[in-house]
A and B are shown apart, each in its own frame.
Chain A
Amino acid sequence: MKILLSLTIVLLMISFFSDRKKTIAGIKRGFKMFLGILPTMLNVLILVSIFLFLVPKETLIKLLGKGSGITGFMIAAILGSISLIPGFIAFPLAAILLKNGAAYNIVAVFITTLMMVGILTLPIEIKYFGVRVSILRNALSFIGALIIGLIIGVFL
């Protein structure tokens, strides 16, 4: 976060001293893009907040914990695909899952689907990439994440 902030400020200053007009045009363009997608993003975040309320941490630990086996693996893949959890919550949660006896393949598939597949964020993706391409990317990523989860389960 701090890196992004300082990088933006430094680049803005360099840009501003090189060419004022261009810099202002750039900021305007960025702002316009931001406003264009903001309502969609807010709506998605509302959905995510409700989803996380319906599926709290405790439920996840119960569903994915010790001995949950192949069912746990699939539940992990589906939950990971639907939700959008920032890293600072997802990784501690994954560590708790491991401590509670969840298998490595389950944690791996959960983390990987969280990263690569975004069902709740599909409305945002579709605005940029269109319906078919967005669905295809998510479907392929889902399959890929299953494979990654299975392979990591073999190694760990």
Chain B
Amino acid sequence: MKRYILTLMFCVFIIASYCFNLDFGYKIGNNFWIFFKELITFLPFMFILVGLFDVWFPKEKVGKYIGKESGIKGTFWVILLAMLQAGPLYGAFPVAYLLWKKGCSIRNVFIYLGAFSTLKIPMLTFEIGFLGLKFSLLRTLFTLPVFIVIAIVMELYLKNKKYEIKQP
């Protein structure tokens, strides 16, 4: 309950703003509502899928496909998995945790995060619609090597360190 104090205070503030017609409270409340709708409509499903994935897929199997020895094929699989998803980046963190727990290599975990943030298909359709195919293609083309390099750097940085991704 203690962890919800800020949220409760915020709710009181928004309700007060509505009662006393405070313009800024009203606007902030509207912004919050947009984000809250996004959070509450897709995160529960995401976590159900994560939970099911957790109980059904044994570590050995996942590790074989996207673990340390999986090479370029493993990279391909995590990018494909990421592209099929939707939602904001913070929704990818629990999935990344689970992938890691199941034996996914550090490099592939960060490639997953990179692909999730920049190559999700639902997002790409939006991007193409508003900014055009040429812009979207160029951006995708240059982003791909960038997040792969970032993942390699992260892997090198964490090599020989006892690193774990945690479940909050």
Contact = CB atoms under 8 A, between A and B. Distances in A.
Contact of A129 (B10, B49, B93, B130): B93
B4 A42 contact: yes
B interface secondary structure, majority: helix
Given A30-B50, A116-B114, A98 B56 contact: no
A10 to B, nearest CB: 11
Interface string A10-44: 01100100000011011111110110110111111
Contacts of A86: 34-35, 38, 88
B126 A27 contact: no
B41 interface: yes
A144 B130 contact: no
A71 interface: no
Contacts of A152: 135, 138-139, 142
Contacts of A106: none
Contact of A125 (B36, B44, B93): B93
Interface residues of B, number: 73
Interface of A: 1, 3-5, 7-8, 11-12, 15, 22-23, 25-31, 33-34, 36-37, 39-46, 48-50, 52-53, 84, 86-89, 91-92, 94-95, 98, 104, 107-108, 111-112, 115-116, 118, 121, 124-125, 127-130, 133, 136-137, 140-141, 144-145, 147-148, 151-152, 155-156
10 contacts: A4-B46, A4-B85, A4-B86, A7-B49, A41-B39, A48-B31, A88-B126, A98-B131, A125-B90, A148-B142
